[in-house]
Amino acid sequence: MIPQGSLNSEFSKFQRKLVTDFLAWQVAIVNEYKRPDQFVMQNFDLSWRNGSYAIQPDVDHFEACRPLDICGIDIYHKTQDDLDGVTIGLAGDLARSMKQDNYLVVETSAQSILNSALQKLHYPGQLRLQAYSHLASGANMVAYWPWHSIHNSAETYWKGILSHDLEPNPTYYEAKQIASEFKKFNEQLISLKKKNRIAIYFSNESLTALREFPFSYKIHYNDVLRQVYEILYKNNLECDFVDHTVKDLSAYKLIIVPPLYVAPDEELERLNTFVRQGGSILYYFKSGFCNEHVQVRPKRMPAVLREACGFSYQQFTNFDRMSLKENPFSVEQEHNYVSIWGELLVPETATVLASYDHPHWGDYAAITQNRSGKGCVTYFGSLPSSAIIREVILDCAEKAGIDPPARKYAFPVIVRSGTNKAGKKLYYIFNYSPQEQCIPYHFDGGKELFSEREITKGDSLRIGAWDVKIMVE
């Protein structure tokens, strides 16, 4: 008998299984007939919220993707002054993680999307910047939708490479340049491989259960996850995505876990083991609260995670904002806060990283850190400001031994890297801003792809507005 409160959550799980089974069945049929040189692909789409992508609650991407030969994905995102590459990165990293392989961008915006009141024509140069951003995440194709704008349909204003006049236009000429560069540099750019040490651990079960039992009406699971991704991305720490289907986590040094509200004991034990064996985990509040049936564990929280976390709690409260005592992360005073949800943590073996600055809750911890076996668990009992999350993540990464040279840059300079087919290291260096950037070159020497100029460590590098340099070792 499924209890009332978790009913919708169970329905979601069932619905996702229907999708997984249906796709597997379809792929099996196609596999009977396809030629050896053909492949089966599915055009996946992520969850669209406020013009941004995150985890899709209606499909288990990882499981659904298994029978397919190649992962395909649609990537639509904000543009003009709001273009920052976050969604391209997130959707790309997620698509690459699905089959731990390269993927195809099956649809992306040509001129503008959505509808007639939300037209946002890309600025000159942005189409090309976006195309290389896809490649830098591991895409092996960038396809636009549609070729020409449609004259009479629901998608009349989902504008194509061509306008309704079917004549060449500035967008067409920019697409033409992209195509000719892709052709020229294909061998160096195709099939970029990455080996990331950080993973974001997501949970569709938690996402859908937290729609029934939200910790806030304004900030949802996907907002928390996107915020984590954006902080990693803007500080040039590349990551993979994993979920409960990834049993072997040993490739990672640091795993960041947005509210893991729903998980069976064995899943939590696997994470405990990862830590004991030397891994580092950053958990968000509410992790460990419910079992796989969205039943609250009848234990002092965080139940199965209690020993690894080194604290327990019995009570919690919602609030708007609260300061932390003594600005423990030395952020600007206006950023020294937590918000929305607060667990009243009572440390057992954990070190208190931050306490609530409140007349009644001041004795409780808000953020803790605990050694467990050879590893370390950091825990957010409340939702910190972006500035604090950044400090904690950078600290966790550094302690986990993750401190690549790319970390010396930060948004709007975005660095994405990997190894090409020839085994050469590639660095994409993007300028996501309308101002030219002049930066020191922190990597070992290499050749800039477009200019064929040799660059050595310490040289300075100029990148124009909305432009990109690609360095080959």
Which one of 64-72, 146-154, 239-247, 404-412 is the stretch in contact with its own copies (CB under 8 A)? Answer: 146-154
The alpha carbon of 69 is separated from its chain's Cα centroid by a whole number of angstroms, namely 23
Question: What gap in Å lies between CA 287 and CA 103, rounded to an integer?
Answer: 31
Minimum separation from the CB atom of position 167 to its own copies (A)? 6
What ranges make up the beta strands (E) of 125-268?
139-142, 198-201, 240-242, 254-257
The Cβ of residue 184 has, within 10 Å, a number of other Cβ atoms equal to 12
According to CB under 8 A, which one of 99, 123, 143, 411 is a site residue for its own copies?
Answer: 123
Distances in Å between the Cα of 239 and the Cα atoms of 101, 137, 252, 428 are 14, 10, 9, 16
Question: What gap in Å lies between CA 203 and CA 181, rounded to an integer?
Answer: 39
Which one of 200-208, 231-239, 287-295, 402-410 is the stretch in contact with its own copies (CB under 8 A)? Answer: 287-295
Residue that has been written with the tokens 């990283």 in this structure? 353
Which one of 63-71, 96-104, 271-279, 295-303 is the stretch in contact with its own copies (CB under 8 A)? Answer: 295-303
Check residue 152 for interaction with its own copies (CB under 8 A): yes
Check residue 171 for interaction with its own copies (CB under 8 A): yes
Contacts of 154 (CB under 8 A, 6+ apart): none
Minimum separation from the CB atom of position 216 to its own copies (A)? 5
Cα Rg of the chain, angstroms: 23
Minimum separation from the CB atom of position 68 to its own copies (A)? 30
According to CB under 8 A, which one of 31, 38, 153, 456 is a site residue for its own copies?
Answer: 153
Which one of 52-60, 86-94, 151-159, 272-280 is the stretch in contact with its own copies (CB under 8 A)? Answer: 151-159
Check residue 457 for interaction with its own copies (CB under 8 A): no
Minimum separation from the CB atom of position 450 to its own copies (A)? 22
Task: Please give the residues from 303 up to 362 whose contact with its own copies meets the rule CB under 8 A.
Answer: 314-318, 341, 344, 359-360
Minimum separation from the CB atom of position 227 to its own copies (A)? 18
Distances in Å between the Cα of 361 and the Cα atoms of 62, 324, 326, 366, 375 are 41, 11, 15, 10, 29
Which one of 87-95, 211-219, 230-238, 452-460 is the stretch in contact with its own copies (CB under 8 A)? Answer: 211-219
Residue 126, classed as helix, strand or coil, is: helix
Q: Per-residue b/e over 331-348, b at no fewer than 16 CB within 10 Å? A: beeeebbbbbbbbbbbbe
CA-closest candidate to residue 277, choices 261, 253, 305, 246: 253
Is the CB of 22 or the CB of 173 nearer to its own copies?
173
Is the CB of 166 or the CB of 410 nearer to its own copies?
166
Check residue 177 for interaction with its own copies (CB under 8 A): no
Cis peptide leading into 302, omega within 30 of 0? yes
Minimum separation from the CB atom of position 150 to its own copies (A)? 8
Is the CB of 56 or the CB of 149 nearer to its own copies?
149
Asked whether the beta carbons of 337 and 323 are under 8 A apart, the reply is yes
Which residues contribute to the site for its own copies (CB under 8 A)?
Answer: 3-6, 80, 111-112, 115-121, 123-124, 149, 151-157, 163-167, 169-171, 213-217, 293-301, 314-318, 341, 344, 359-360, 434
